[in-house]
Amino acid sequence: MEEQTKAINTTPENLLPYDGEVRYFGCIMDGGQADVYLQKLLNEIEWRNDEAVIFGKHIITKRKVAWYADGGFSYSYSNITRYALPWTATLVELKAIAEELTGVVYNSCLLNLYHDGDEGMAWHSDDEKELKKDGSIASMSFGAERKFALKHRLSKEGTSLMLQNGSLLEMKGTTQTYWLHALPKSKKVKMPRVNLTFRQMMK
Ligand SMILES: O=C(O)CCC(=O)C(=O)O
Ligand SMILES: [Fe+2]
C-alpha to C-alpha distance for 201 and 84, rounded to whole angstroms = 12
pLDDT mean across residues, the chain:
93
Quickly state the pLDDT bin for 79 (edges 50, 70, 90). low
Domain range summary for the chain, segments of one domain joined by +: 21-199
DSSP for 61-94, please give it.
EEEEEEEEESTT-EEEETTEEEEPBPPPHHHHHH
C-alpha to C-alpha distance for 5 and 107, rounded to whole angstroms = 29
Q: Which pLDDT tens digit goes with each residue over 1-14? A: 555 556 888 899 99
Which of 77, 151, 181, 185, when mutated, tests ligand 1's pocket best, judged by the most ligand atoms within 8 Å of its CB?
A: 181
Q: Which pLDDT tens digit goes with each residue over 104-124? A: 999 999 999 999 999 999 999
Higher pLDDT, 53 or 130: 130
| CATH 2.60.120.590 correct for 21-199 | yes
Bridge partner list, 66: 111
Per mean pLDDT, which of 9-13, 52-56, 124-128, 145-149 is the most reliable?
145-149
Q: Could you tell me the distance, in angstroms and rounded to a whole number, from the CA of residue 49 to the centre of ligand 1?
A: 15
Least confident segment among 19-23, 73-77, 141-145: 73-77
ipTM of the complex: 0.99
Q: Could you tell me the distance, in angstroms and rounded to a whole number, from the CA of residue 3 to the centre of ligand 2?
A: 31
Higher pLDDT, 5 or 179: 179
